[in-house]
């Protein structure tokens, strides 16, 4: 077994048979900074959530089997260099960029409401980067050589369809998926399949009974950590140092944030999957 890459939250190994092993760690990152404090059982939740979604969505994927509590064996893919983001609600970074979609994905007279449901899900892809993903539209993605026009259209249609399926399944568990990030790759036959994984690091999750348009929402994903980092001023420090091309040292996450984040991850998995950890 050979270590291919040590990422922000998971380690990737190449196996002797040519397949790949994902080891989901308890590490957590926010605003492209890896935190110094692990979140207990987070790796297990990410692994089990990935298994659940791959099995539930009924779309071709690269998962082969689960190994231990926090490891997944997958087929090796040639990954497509595009983060396939789908947004269903007016929230997050989309608030700053929604005007780019007016007259295209959104009606020209669209009036935004914080956390309001969009008229229809919007495909809002970005580049793939270990440092910072950048939004791209269809023309830019094709012009940069990231994908062909045919593949872009396929990824857009498939991503929106998968988001709608996930939303329906999550809704049965009492949750709203506000947005989600998919990754795709080509298998040994050249077929495009769903890759990477799907869990609370890839989507924004709200409890339906607490949902109130027009206000900030309680998050059952790592947004809870982001909110704490904003409140403590760490996000402002990130923004200040970014102008100098630097990153701050990560803080120790407060114990109450760690325990609450772990509780929310586990609660969301059990309610959506119907299984106990």
Q: What are the residue boundaries of the structural domains of the chain, listed by start?
A: 78-277
* Confidence category of residue 8, pLDDT binned at 50, 70, 90: confident
SS3 93: coil
User: What gap in Å lies between CA 25 and CA 140, rounded to an integer?
Assistant: 34
| Residues 133, 100, 156, 120, CA torsion sign | positive
Residue in 35, 25, 45 with CA at minimum distance from that of residue 253: 35
How many C-beta neighbours within 10 Å does residue 209 have?
Answer: 7
Higher pLDDT, 201 or 213: 213
User: What's the pLDDT at 132?
Assistant: 66
Q: What confidence tens digit (pLDDT) does each residue in 165-181 have?
A: 999 999 999 999 999 99
Mean pLDDT of the region 174-192: 97
Q: What is the pLDDT of residue 7?
A: 86
CATH fold of the domain at 78-277: D-amino Acid Aminotransferase; Chain A, domain 1 (3.30.470)
CB neighbourhood size of 20 (10 A): 18
d(CA 74, CA 252): 33
95/223 Cα distance (integer angstroms): 16
SS3 category, 113: coil
Query: Token pair of 91, please?
Result: 């929230």
Strands 33-34 and 63-67: unpaired
Ranking 78-92, 151-165, 242-256, 258-272 by mean pLDDT, the lowest is: 242-256
pTM for this structure?
Answer: 0.92
The yes-or-no verdict on residue 129 having pLDDT over 80 is: no
Banded pLDDT at 271 (limits 50, 70, 90)? very high
Strands across the sheet containing 192-194: 78-79, 184-186, 192-194
Q: Name beta bridge partners: 52.
A: none
């Amino acid at each position: 077994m050979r270590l291919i890459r040590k990422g922000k939250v998971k380690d990737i190994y190449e196996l002797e048979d040519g397949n790949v092993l994902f080891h989901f760690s308890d590490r957590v990152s926010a605003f492209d900074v890896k935190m110094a404090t692990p979140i207990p059982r987070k790796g297990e939740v990410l692994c089990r959530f990935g298994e659940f979604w791959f099995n539930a969505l009924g779309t071709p994927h690269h998962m082969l089997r689960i190994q231990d509590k926090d490891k997944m064996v997958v087929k090796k893919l040639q990954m497509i260099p595009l983060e396939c983001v789908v947004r269903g609600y007016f929230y997050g970074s989309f608030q700053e960029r929604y005007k780019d979609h007016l007259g295209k994905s959104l009606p020209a007279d669209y009036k935004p409401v914080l956390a309001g449901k969009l008229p229809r899900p919007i495909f809002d892809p970005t580049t793939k980067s270990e440092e910072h993903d950048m939004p791209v539209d269809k023309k830019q993605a094709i012009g940069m050589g990231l994908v062909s026009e045919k593949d872009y259209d396929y990824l857009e249609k498939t991503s929106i369809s998968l988001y709608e399926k996930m939303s329906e399944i999550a809704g049965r568990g009492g949750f709203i998926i506000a947005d989600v990030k998919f990754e795709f790759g080509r298998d040994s036959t050249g077929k495009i399949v769903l890759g990477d994984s799907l869990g609370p690091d890839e989507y924004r999750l709200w409890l339906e009974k607490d949902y109130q348009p027009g206000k900030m929402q309680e998050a059952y994903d790592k947004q809870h950590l982001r909110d704490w980092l904003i409140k403590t001023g760490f996000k402002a420090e990130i923004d200040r140092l970014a102008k100098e091309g630097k990153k701050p040292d990560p803080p120790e996450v407060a114990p109450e944030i760690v325990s609450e984040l772990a509780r929310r991850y586990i609660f969301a998995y059990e309610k959506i999957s119907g299984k106990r950890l």
